[in-house]
Structure 1
């Protein structure tokens, strides 16, 4: 019978197979060792540092969010996928090409729609080819107070500051948070489908999807 001995953080594990003894402990200790620590005993932070050691850190923008505003945001009802996108956006973890270029070894960081560098803000807000989406959506949902400036919209989203945004009078029961969420998620969904499913990115279709999302949230709010 062969006694095969395997190494684990808790000690050797043995199982009887045929004859003689084959000890895999030195091999496993070599393969599962990183800077003097066994990989199987590492916590999540240590594993992340190990896998990302050759990649530059993604810079997180400094955002100043008022505690009361954050509390209001957390209490806002929205789909978990939409809330996840919000948190990724605030912490600059959106999968824009600028964030992924070094991790995935992308050939460039350029937006496929306009040729400019695709940062987080560019991907969802400031790309000039998508300005029509925001302009048309805002004209349907918000009272116009000043010319639409997407850099300012991005800053307001990052700080959750919507004090200057006023919804048009309508039967819809939604908040400003929810209205902004609908257009952001519609753009995100269209980009996702364009990349993975090769579906053409059409500005009007994105606006239509945002309005469908808005009516859906309003209907859910009426049911409360």
Structure 2
């Protein structure tokens, strides 16, 4: 059983390890990003292909279904990419997040993957005073949390609510403005 688990995790890791690869510069950038710790954890697991997507769990426990529970029975296998991006409702959530935070950059799945897997972030709205990495980290975290609320609490996965939560968490990272304060 241990060999089976190791083999499954190796095949998944090879698929995603090309993301940041052995680039010291990209890994240093990753560790310097101003991202909440739980978001960094999810992001790190994504890069290494270690998310608990059902297809990964199915390799370890064959009796465990590999289908996406959010998409229902006739759905595709829930790969790591499907788990956070390609699932229909998560894809919609990403499009909403992109439109809100990056209206100057055209949306595409490729551009999203470039940002998440290669730290090649789009141009953001000049009004934002936060790094794009923080926005992506908070968005990943909200999609992650909403997914698990659906699994464990049967809370519906609503893309507009994911956007609202992502906005709330991102705003909590923005330092308060001091230009309106009056001096004594």
Q: TM-score range by the shorter chain?
A: 0.7 to 0.9
Structure whose residues are more often strand by fraction: 1
Tell me, in whole angstroms, the C-alpha distance in 2 between the residues paired with 1:180 and 1:130: 14
Tell me, in whole angstroms, the C-alpha distance in 1 between the residues paired with 2:63 and 2:171: 38
Aligned with 1:85: secondary structure?
A: helix
Aligned with 2:18: secondary structure?
A: coil
Answering whether residue 62 of structure 2 is matched by residue 101 of structure 1, we say no
Answering whether residue 160 of structure 2 is matched by residue 160 of structure 1, we say no
Structure scoring higher RCO (CA < 8 A, sep ≥ 6) equals 2
1:88-133 deviation digits (Å, cap 9, x = unpaired): 1110001101111132344421112331111111111122232221
Give, in angstroms, the shift of residue 158 of structure 1: 1.5
Tell me, in whole angstroms, the C-alpha distance in 2 between the residues paired with 1:194 and 1:200: 6
Give, in angstroms, the shift of residue 155 of structure 1: 4.2
Query: Unaligned stretches of 5+ in structure 1?
Result: 1-50
> Do 1:186 and 1:210's aligned partners in 2 also have CA atoms closer than 8 Å?
yes
Structure whose residues are more often helix by fraction: 2
Cα RMSD after superposing both structures: 2.2
Task: Tell me the equivalent position of 1:218.
Answer: 174
Query: Unaligned stretches of 5+ in structure 2?
Result: 179-184
> Do 2:8 and 2:60's aligned partners in 1 also have CA atoms closer than 8 Å?
no
Give, in angstroms, the shift of residue 221 of structure 1: 10
Task: Tell me the equivalent position of 2:8.
Answer: 57
TM-score under structure 2 normalisation?
0.81
Aligned with 1:186: secondary structure?
A: helix
1:10-46 deviation digits (Å, cap 9, x = unpaired): xxxxxxxxxxxxxxxxxxxxxxxxxxxxxxxxxxxxx
Tell me, in whole angstroms, the C-alpha distance in 1 between the residues paired with 2:146 and 2:19: 29
Answering whether residue 129 of structure 2 is matched by residue 173 of structure 1, we say yes
Structure ID, larger Rg: 1
> Do 2:54 and 2:64's aligned partners in 1 also have CA atoms closer than 8 Å?
no
TM-score under structure 1 normalisation?
0.67
1:116-164 deviation digits (Å, cap 9, x = unpaired): 1111111111222322211111111113333x222442244122222xx
1:30-67 deviation digits (Å, cap 9, x = unpaired): xxxxxxxxxxxxxxxxxxxxx62243422212315343
